[in-house]
Structure 1
Amino acid sequence: MVELLQMDGKFYLEALVNGDSKTISKIYQKNFLGVKKFVLQNKGNIEDAQDVFQKALLQIAVRHKKEGIIIKSSFDAYVFTVCKNLWRRELNSYKKRVTNSEGIEQISEYTANAYALVEQKRHELFLEKLNEISDNCKKILTMFFAKTSYAEIVETTEYTSEAVVRQRVFKCKKKLTDLVKGDQRYNSLREL
């Protein structure tokens, strides 16, 4: 399954790098509506969604050409995550802009894109390390990160109480944190 996802991802990545307009059009058809919905639900408009989507595709193409990305999830999920991270970064930059009587100080687009790329790499490192922990830990943490209540986790697993689930979440988070911090890429991706 992972090999099929990687082949699918490689096909789309190459299409982006080579400017294959027919395939890029398919990428838009498959992915833009989800991105638009996310942006509209998070204080944006259609133009914002179009800008974010375009920036994401450009960022993915440039990064693949420069570094050779290997996508281990579906290409569609990867594109959505990049768009989501770019939009969140954009929302955060609105908060950081300083207004004075002479105008608005804006973060350069280059800097914003660099931050978004670092954020994407952090997300990829996190997912990679999440896949390295035990299936049990992965299941528990996935539910925990999805804001599933401890009571619901008890109901859907073999654990007997919320206290046991809390302890298991704590141990699994520690294991995941240790794996992330133990990776050589961690220091270069720490908060800027």
Structure 2
Amino acid sequence: MIKDSYSSDNELIKGIIENSDEALRQLYKMYFPSILQFVLNNNGDEDDAKDIYQEAIIVVYDKIKSGSFELNSKLKTFIYSVCRRLWLKRLKLMSRSAGNVTDFQDFIPVEDDLERHEEKDAQLNLMEGALIKLGEPCKTIIEDYYLHNQSMQEIAEKFGYTNAENAKNQKYKCLMRLKKIFFQSSGKTEEIYVRRS
């Protein structure tokens, strides 16, 4: 049954886990006014508040969907805390004053969640850059297989390989090159395992 409104934090979280568009819409609308007030009173404007709120909702959504989300406070407090941390960080980057922050409600430390989110974000950006450097046909082969869920047979036909096995070997070579570019650009040396399916 699709609900058209969620009366508690737990119901809202359950709605998000169940991919309810309405739960996500409600999450977007419910807590924005207090974030807008916070950002406006701390050297920001409405566009800044929308940006920060969007980013915070992504953090919260990812955390809920990962299954590791434990609500130890009100959802409003958690979202406010994420927005607060993101905004203070942005003020610091823009060299705007974050000296005396005016708070409108309680907040909790959320450093770990944001560190993980930022790290994941940075990794995705590096991976995107590595894909661009990889060039064709590798870039398209990898995107077709991993992002568009095409079969090796479809890829073989598209690129004119004699069979799916040849296409699979080409994809594997492409992945090895991608891995090399990724680790060169990230400065990391740790091993990642690539599935050969």
TM-score normalised according to structure 1 size: 0.49
Higher relative contact order (CA 8 A, sep 6+): 1
The structure carrying a bigger helix percent of its residues is 1
